[in-house]
């Protein structure tokens, strides 16, 4: 599954190869509530076809109508605003008081779209600097935590995965989790020393490593933009890796398992690895939010919902976490029986 950024770049590259005029639209600033964040992109072709999104749809409709009416006539980048007045906010589907500023950039060979696409496809983090006066572009290596910058002379955007996800175990659930995580702009690494699980791994764009998980956790030097999810059910693989991860700056560390297995895991980590209660409090388990998930695909969605909340700094009430929700349901089910 491609991220939106990758889909947009692929569309731009295809249209340019076909000799069609197209432009890249980027959200550069927002005020108040906005449907899409800064850095969101839209590719717009002279035919009226689009890829990506910069709003809930109404601004796209206006941009498409302009192109169909006037064509793509821009010679240099242009900065425009939508939603300054309340009637515009209503017209363009922005929340009350919302304002969005866009960069409209006509594309050509000077835009370096193919080079950017190749580097982002290789899961590289890239800084793209657009000269607003000439339209010329430079590309350079990025670092996690960098953000969009706009001034009178240039627009600096960040492309590629700024977040890292280590999945321990290469089973079927890991496959679904990795595919969706790629679409959420994670750089995904799957670690499994068991050859029988690695043989059938076939998710493009995912780095698969064969070493012991705790060694990989150490080698990755986990930071505040890193997450670890243990999915093997095997204490020999999971426990040491979880110990290392819980001692790191990772924003999310979780492990799959039932409530009883989660309790046993916590007891092992405390007894055999001298982990403190405060460290164990960081462990998400049983992993995920409660959505009644049963299939691997549903469980992957449950896990990534909890991970996304942590990434966005959202506190999830215990009542909807898997462990607490199942505890609440048990008395009801027993009573019904």
Burial 182-218 (b: 16+ CB within 10 A, else e): bebbbbbbbbbbeeebeeeeebebbebbeebbbebbe
**Side-by-side strand order, sheet with 149-150:** 137-141, 126-131, 154-159, 149-150
Beta bridge partners of 253: 228, 283
Tally of helices (H runs) and strands (E runs) in the chain: 12, 15
d(CA 159, CA 185): 10
Q: What is the pTM of this model?
A: 0.79
Residue with tokens 């204490």: 235
Domains and CATH numbers, the chain: 4-159 (no CATH), 163-324 (3.40.50.720)
pLDDT by residue for the chain (337 residues), tens only, comes to 567 888 999 999 999 999 999 999 999 998 876 677 899 999 999 999 999 988 877 788 889 999 999 999 999 999 998 875 666 656 666 655 578 899 999 999 999 999 999 999 888 899 999 999 999 999 999 988 889 999 999 999 999 888 999 999 999 999 999 999 998 989 999 999 988 877 778 888 899 999 999 999 999 999 999 999 999 989 999 999 999 999 999 999 999 998 899 999 999 999 988 899 999 999 999 999 999 999 999 999 999 999 999 999 999 888 888 877 777 766 554 444 4
Output the CA torsion 329→334→336→337 (10° steps): 140
């Amino acid at each position: 599954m491609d991220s939106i950024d990758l889909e947009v770049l692929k569309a731009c590259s295809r249209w340019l190869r076909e000799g069609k005029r197209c432009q890249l639209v980027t959200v550069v600033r927002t005020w108040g509530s906005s449907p899409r964040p800064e850095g969101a992109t839209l590719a717009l072709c002279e035919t009226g076809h689009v890829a990506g999104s910069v709003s809930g749809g109404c601004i796209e409709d206006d941009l498409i109508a302009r192109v169909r009416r006037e064509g793509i006539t821009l010679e240099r980048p242009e900065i425009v605003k939508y939603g300054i007045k309340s009637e515009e906010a209503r017209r363009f589907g922005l929340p009350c008081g919302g304002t969005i500023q866009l960069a409209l950039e006509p594309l050509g060979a000077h835009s370096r779209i193919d080079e950017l696409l190749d580097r982002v496809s290789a899961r590289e983090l890239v800084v793209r600097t657009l000269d607003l006066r000439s339209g010329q572009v430079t590309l350079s290596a990025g670092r996690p935590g960098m953000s969009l910058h706009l001034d009178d002379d240039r627009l600096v955007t960040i492309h590629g995965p700024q977040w890292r996800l280590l999945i321990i175990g290469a089973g079927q659930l890991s496959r679904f989790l990795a595919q969706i995580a790629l679409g959420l702009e994670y750089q995904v690494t799957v670690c499994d020393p068991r050859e029988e699980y690695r043989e059938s791994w076939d998710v493009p764009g995912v780095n698969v490593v064969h070493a012991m998980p705790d060694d990989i956790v150490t080698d990755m030097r986990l930071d505040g933009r890193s997450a670890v999810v243990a999915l093997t059910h095997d204490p020999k693989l999971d426990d040491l890796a979880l110990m290392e991860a819980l001692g790191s700056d990772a924003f999310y560390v979780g492990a799959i398992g039932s409530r009883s297995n989660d309790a046993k895991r916590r007891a092992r980590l405390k007894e055999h690895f001298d982990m403190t209660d405060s460290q164990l409090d960081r462990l998400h388990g049983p992993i995920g939010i409660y959505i009644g998930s049963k299939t691997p695909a549903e469980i992957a969605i449950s896990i990534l919902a909890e991970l996304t909340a942590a990434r966005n700094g959202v506190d999830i009430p215990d009542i909807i976490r898997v462990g607490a929700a199942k505890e609440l349901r048990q008395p009801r089910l027993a009573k019904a029986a």
